[in-house]
Amino acid sequence: MDSRSDTIAAVATAPGRSGVAVVRVSGPDAFAVGERVAGRRPEPGRILFARFGKAGSFGGSESAAASAHAVADSGIMLAFAAPRSYTGEDVVELQCHGGAVAPRRVLEACFAAGARLARRGEFTERAFLNGKLSYEQAEGVIDLIDAKTDRAADAALCELAGEVRGGKDPLRTLYDATLEMSTTVEHALDVSEDELPQSFFAALDSSLSGLLASLREARRRLKERKILRDGALVVLAGPPNAGKSSLMNALLGENRAIVSSMPGTTRDSIEEWLDVGGWPVRLVDTAGLRESSDAIEAEGVRRSETLMEKADVVLMLEPGDADCEEQPAGPVADKAIRVSSKCDIVRGHGLNVSSVTGEGLDALRAAISERLSALADSPSAGDAEASSAAAERRLAALAGAESAIAPFNGPSECFDLVLFANALRTACEKLGAICGATYSDDLLDSLFSRFCVGK
C-alpha cells in the first residue's frame, strides 16, 4: 500500500511549556479522524470548540471518572478541505493546551482514530507532491524555519511566496528553456546542416548565451542562499596578544571571550553567531599563531590553522606595529581582511580598528558584508562547501549543465548539432532532477528529512 495515501498526524508546534499546541492531521480520512477525536464533524470555514479524546469517550454510558480519564483535553478544531489546504489534502488542526502531556494525549487519540505518525517533513512533502509547492519553495520553508537573521528570513519568504521568480520556479524556467532548445536542435537534425540558414545558428548561439547567463545567476543565488541558511564562517586569526578576543567581544557587544595581557590565553576556539549586514556569521576566536612547546597550546594553534582553511573570511589581525607590512600568504590570502586592531595605540597598514574606542568597527562589518557578497558572486567559490546534500546536489547539477553546453557558445560555424544535442540532453537531465520535473525518492528524502516532524 502506498504510504502517501495514509492519513498522518503529528504535533506541529515545538515541544515544551507553552499556552497552545497544534496537532495536525492530513489525508483522505482526516475529517473522519477529527470527528472521532472531537466528537463532532469538522466544518471547513468554521472554528469549532470541542473536547478531544478517544472515540467513544463522549457517550453517556461511561462513568464520569472513566469519561474524564478518556478526554485528552479541550480546545478548538479547524478544518481545511482539499485542495485548499497546506498539503492539498483534507487537513484538520486540533489546537489544545501546550506542555508535555496534553499534545501527546490528543495525538494518541488521533492514532486510535486511524491516523499514523507523520515522518519528518511529510506534510510539506505532500504539499510538493500535490502541486502546492515547488521544490524550491519547499526549500524556502526550511530556510525560513532555520533563518538566523532578518535578511535570511526575507530571502526565504521571497522564495516561498514566489516573488523572486515572478510566480514561477526559476529552476523550472531554466529546465523549460533548455528543453525547448533541445527540441529545436532535435528537429533540426532531421534536415541536413547544409540546408540550415546561418541565421538559425546565430539565433541558437544567442539563445545559448542567455541560457548560460541564467545558469550562472541561478548558481549565484543558490550560493547566497547557502550562506544565508548555514551562516558564514568568519575566523579571527593572528599572533598572541593581537587583540582577537577583544575584537570578538567588541563585535558581539558582550564579554564572551577572556581578555588578558598574558600571551596564549585563548587555547581553543570560541564561537558565537552574529548578524553582519543581514548575513548570519559564525564568528570564531582562535588560539594565537606561534610556535609553542606547550602541547595544549600547540593543539590550539593546529585547530586555528584548520579553521582558517575552512573559513569563508579570515580577519587577520596584525600586531600593534606600524612598520609591519607582511601580507597574508597561502590559501588564506584570497579570503583574508588585514586588521590593525589597536589603532588607538598605533595605526597600521590594515583596516584600522580599536576594540577600546570602537573606531573602525562599522567599517569592519561593512568589509565582511562586502566580502560575503563577493563570495556569493564568485563563479566557483562555495560549491565544495555546500553543507547539505541537497544544496551540494543542486549546485553540482547547475555546474554540470553549464559545463555541458558552454563549449558550444561561440562562433556559429563551430556548432556540431549532433554533439550539441547530446549536451542539451545531459543539461536537461541534470536540471530536471533538481526542479521537480523528474525526481527520485532519494532526492525527496534528502530535502524533507531536514524538516521536523509535524511540518
Least confident of 54-68, 180-194, 304-318, 397-411: 54-68
Q: Where are the domains of the chain?
A: 3-118, 169-435
For 226-250, what is the mean pLDDT?
84
Neighbouring C-alpha atoms within 13 Å toward the C-beta of 303: 15
Residue range 160-201, pLDDT digits in tens: 665 444 446 677 888 889 999 988 888 888 776 667 788 888
Residue ranges with strand state E in 349-402 = 351-352
Distance between CA atoms of residues 371 and 375, nearest Å: 6
> Of residues 337 and 151, which shows the higher confidence score?
337
As to burial, measured by CB atoms within 10 angstroms (0-12 exposed, 13-18 middle, 19+ buried), residue 384 is exposed
Does the pLDDT value for residue 241 go beyond 90? no
Given the candidates 3.30.1360.120, 3.90.340.10, 3.30.420.270, 1.10.1040.10, the CATH classification of the domain at 3-118 is 3.30.1360.120
Q: How far apart are CA 352 and CA 109, in angstroms?
A: 64
Residue 267 φ/ψ region, left for φ over 0, alpha for ψ in the -120 to 50 degree band, beta for the rest: alpha
Number of other CB atoms surrounding residue 58 within 10 Å: 17
Quickly list H helices, 52-149. Answer: 64-70, 102-112, 122-129, 135-146
Q: What is the pLDDT of residue 166?
A: 45
Count CB-CB contacts under 10 A for residue 410: 12
Do residues 123 and 4 make contact, with C-beta atoms less than 8 angstroms apart? no
| Closest to 423 (Cα-Cα) out of 201, 178, 250, 196 | 178
Q: Is residue 276 within 8 Å of residue 365, measured between CB atoms?
A: yes
Q: Is the pTM of this model over 0.85?
A: no
For the 169-435 domain, the top CATH level (class) is alpha beta
Going by C-alpha positions, the residue among 42, 173, 36 that lies closest to residue 114 is 36
Once rounded to an integer, what is the mean pLDDT over residues 265-282?
A: 77
| CA distance linking residue 266 with residue 287, whole number of Å | 5
**pLDDT digits 0-9 by tens, 25-41:** 999 999 999 999 999 99
Nearest to 155 by CA among 220, 94, 211: 220
Q: Which of the listed ranges 10-19, 152-161, 193-202, 324-333 does the model predict with the highest average pLDDT?
A: 10-19
Lowest mean pLDDT among 18-27, 311-320, 325-334: 325-334
Q: Which three cell numbers stand for residue 307?
A: 579553521
Residues 277-289 as b or e (16 or more Cβ within 10 Å = b): eebbbbbbbbbbb
Banded pLDDT at 287 (limits 50, 70, 90)? confident
